Structure 1
């Protein structure tokens, strides 16, 4: 796997003379900033030094004078006291696959690759095997996964927002003792290896499963636990049924062409033509309808668009695995809702990828500072993954819709008293038995408590036990049909009738393409609700 004893590279020892302090300086000039970061990560012994210098390098590397830092030259100057420093440098070049540099130094590439085995990520002759695994993890981390990892670490109070490479994030964790290991090759009295907390986080990222196995294997080997029976590697994690929420799958029965038909129907949909000479009249707003105070400022529409999800400290420590895929296409729903509500004279406020605390703070700020007495309607649209009665925040923690309703009925929402509050929820309502009695947010009121609250209209994209479907390029069936219907009918009909028509068209369309989705709305409205009354 790896060797503690230092085996000389005798077959090409004569070429080692080509690796000099001056040559390292020359080589550095031909390397990309990313390669410099990778080599510093592998070569520097003291993580705090590596991190601080790379933070500065990250800032100045955008400047033409960035090469003045000479990070590799500085390392070589200090490392030359070790007889192995040239071997460390050559192996690091091999790990980073900088084969042109290896050839430039006069080495036979095939021989170097055979000796250092760059494709075996747990084998290491002169570089820490832990570092080698961590480097390979970084090298195969996508920008999307790194974004999620940063969000997850933020829930631990570790802010890596400004780190532009995965190597800096890993160094940050090493400096904070989140990852503990000593260089077993360069140190005679190594400290105990501890990667448990880090692996606990990685367990919630399916893409990192193989690296978790390698890290745990090395931890046991380096700690002297050679008995394989005492070694348990977790290479997979349970996936909740919420993972398939709203996901467009080309392998589903019905095929891609069937889904295309759904959105073609949007262009053909006829919800009864509105006469061009028809004008709404305020006479509609009699005692049987909610009063629109200012037709030019009907209300406030709050949109929460959750597209990217990351694990959080809370569900990691409770060993709750929720792997929620990116909701591609949700931006199209956001755009459709923004356009629709602006056309209906609503003020529109958008929040994206909010964690469970930010969701409530976002809503609180809006109802406290953006909703005023002049507004007549409050609308909240949440686009996310979900299970029965809950939607997921961006940190993969589920939020009870009842808790949101309680907030909208609280003392801080005094400007909403007696006013209609409409919740539009694009999310699945599938059951999740494993989550019963394991809620991740504060306990809400007893079941059905909100139904005693007045002036609410809650509209789910689908009924309990059903999924809600979304096209990864064109948006969700429910939101796209809803926006089309609102634009066509809001000047004439109240929302209850419009929603009924949307239920009909969505259900019929989904049946046609053999997708089970039935929208549902629950109402405690006391009057008819119109969203648009033109001024005269």
Structure 2
């Protein structure tokens, strides 16, 4: 029996069960990309008097998308987390087209990643170290004269959670001035130096272990990749310290250029920057062609990726409780697509699309945001979940 026919035969019972938590299944089908973000927004905002009406619309939408989507939907219904949420699914005969249940999460063995296996060895950055590398988060929340950045701790925890899942050792420095940020970044760029190691131990560094704890006083070593996340206020091409003094993004990058001594030479260095780049508000238009900047790299500046939450001159949006559009989208897309072996530039393309669909006003198109990604990576960077 086809998946579409299976859904048709069991539609009434299925709707009855899914009404138990209609928002959970709606979020799940979006997460698995069975519906588009536009579908999701429409389904979420439809004017129905009861929960059943919402579920009927969702199931009809799935069935109208064809056999493959119906098959994927049936597989989703058999994943562990969905089965636990809707235990009554067991009494519905959905297994006719499914040989076995599908696990809720993808295997974390990098050898199981299809795309990584298809690529030649010299086309992908090798990530064999344990841990994979360091993830440094500079989280500026409380400023001397600027507004408190409410919601930034949510961003910091989301980043820490996802990058520790990807095998990184995650460290955080909180509320740093411009000079302190510069000192911290230069220290992390020079960890091969014994003197720098001693200076680093003098900083107030926290380590993520499911929650923030004081970092142990022991040497910190780089691995096969480096990630730096800076969460702060900002201005054009700059990020601000808590003293409102600016630090140029290009200067941050220069601290990490390749040298004969640097442990990061030839290794990927990713910078995720959540900060306004001006005070203009982007507005939506029906359609616009976007040209990418062509980057000319020289060897010492190879292997960089810099993703900024918004384009130059414009603001970047942050929810006081849920965190920023950009960082939360990055974390969500990494969770969704790293297990399948998708490379980071492709994932950030998804982030751009996701952020671009968000609305900062009840009036459609009034407040929009577009992140900007530039890179001089020479290979694909594929981050995979690590078994713990």
Contact map agreement 2:295 2:375 (CA 8 A) in 1: no
User: Residue 347 of structure 1: SS of its match in structure 2?
Assistant: strand
Question: 1:298 maps to which residue?
Answer: 132
Question: 1:459 maps to which residue?
Answer: 307
Question: 1:338 maps to which residue?
Answer: 160
Change (3 A) 1:454 1:343: same
Question: 2:121 maps to which residue?
Answer: 286
Contact map agreement 1:506 1:517 (CA 8 A) in 2: yes
Change (3 A) 1:341 1:534: closer
Q: Distance in 1 between matches of 2:173 and 2:383?
A: 22
More helix by share: 1
User: Residue 31 of structure 2: SS of its match in structure 1?
Assistant: coil
Change (3 A) 1:425 1:412: farther
Pick from 171, 177, 180: which aligns with 1:358? 180
Q: Distance in 1 between matches of 2:165 and 2:309?
A: 22
Contact map agreement 1:424 1:459 (CA 8 A) in 2: yes
Contact map agreement 2:132 2:224 (CA 8 A) in 1: yes
Question: 2:384 maps to which residue?
Answer: 532
Pick from 346, 352, 355: which aligns with 1:497? 346
Question: 1:409 maps to which residue?
Answer: 257
Q: After TM superposition, give the deviation of residue 533 of structure 1 in Å.
A: 6.3
More strand by share: 2
Change (3 A) 1:382 1:450: farther
Question: 2:225 maps to which residue?
Answer: 377
Q: Distance in 2 between matches of 1:409 and 1:503?
A: 26
Change (3 A) 1:410 1:496: closer
Aligned length: 244
Q: Distance in 2 between matches of 1:413 and 1:329?
A: 38
Q: After TM superposition, give the deviation of residue 288 of structure 1 in Å.
A: 1.0
Q: Distance in 2 between matches of 1:501 and 1:449?
A: 21
Q: Distance in 1 between matches of 2:295 and 2:220?
A: 25
Q: Show structure 1 runs of 5+ residues with no match.
A: 1-264, 311-322, 433-447
Change (3 A) 1:480 1:513: farther
Q: Distance in 1 between matches of 2:27 and 2:276?
A: 22
Q: After TM superposition, give the deviation of residue 330 of structure 1 in Å.
A: 0.6
RMSD of aligned Cα (Å): 3.1
1:481-496 to 2 correspondences below 5 Å = 481-491=329-339, 492-496=341-345
Is 1:394 the counterpart of 2:242 in the alignment?
Answer: yes
Pick from 515, 530, 534: which aligns with 2:367? 515
Q: Distance in 1 between matches of 2:319 and 2:246?
A: 23
Pick from 506, 511, 517: which aligns with 2:355? 506
Q: Distance in 2 between matches of 1:297 and 1:413?
A: 21
User: Residue 356 of structure 2: SS of its match in structure 1?
Assistant: helix
User: Residue 121 of structure 2: SS of its match in structure 1?
Assistant: coil
User: Residue 306 of structure 2: SS of its match in structure 1?
Assistant: strand
- TM-score of the aligned structures, taking structure 1 as reference length: 0.42
Q: Distance in 2 between matches of 1:304 and 1:412?
A: 27
Q: Distance in 1 between matches of 2:162 and 2:385?
A: 15
Q: Distance in 2 between matches of 1:299 and 1:412?
A: 19
Change (3 A) 1:520 1:404: same
Contact map agreement 1:388 1:431 (CA 8 A) in 2: no
Q: After TM superposition, give the deviation of residue 532 of structure 1 in Å.
A: 1.6
Pick from 467, 470, 477: which aligns with 2:325? 477
Q: After TM superposition, give the deviation of residue 388 of structure 1 in Å.
A: 1.4
1:199-218 to 2 correspondences below 5 Å = none
Change (3 A) 1:371 1:421: farther
Question: 1:270 maps to which residue?
Answer: 31
Contact map agreement 1:353 1:393 (CA 8 A) in 2: yes
Superimposed CA distance per residue, residues 259-313 of structure 1 (whole angstroms, 9 cap, x where no aligned partner): xxxxxx977742548974663266356211111123x411110000011112xxx
1:79-228 to 2 correspondences below 5 Å = none
1:39-50 to 2 correspondences below 5 Å = none
User: Residue 521 of structure 1: SS of its match in structure 2?
Assistant: strand
Q: Which has the larger radius of gyration?
A: 1
Q: Distance in 2 between matches of 1:461 and 1:470?
A: 10
Change (3 A) 1:328 1:268: farther
Q: After TM superposition, give the deviation of residue 483 of structure 1 in Å.
A: 0.5
Q: Show structure 2 runs of 5+ residues with no match.
A: 1-25, 35-75, 77-101, 192-196, 198-218, 281-293
Q: Distance in 2 between matches of 1:413 and 1:403?
A: 19
Change (3 A) 1:535 1:306: closer
Higher relative contact order (CA 8 A, sep 6+): 2
Q: After TM superposition, give the deviation of residue 405 of structure 1 in Å.
A: 0.7
Change (3 A) 1:397 1:451: farther
Superimposed CA distance per residue, residues 381-424 of structure 1 (whole angstroms, 9 cap, x where no aligned partner): 00011111100011110000111111111659701101111000
Change (3 A) 1:523 1:467: same
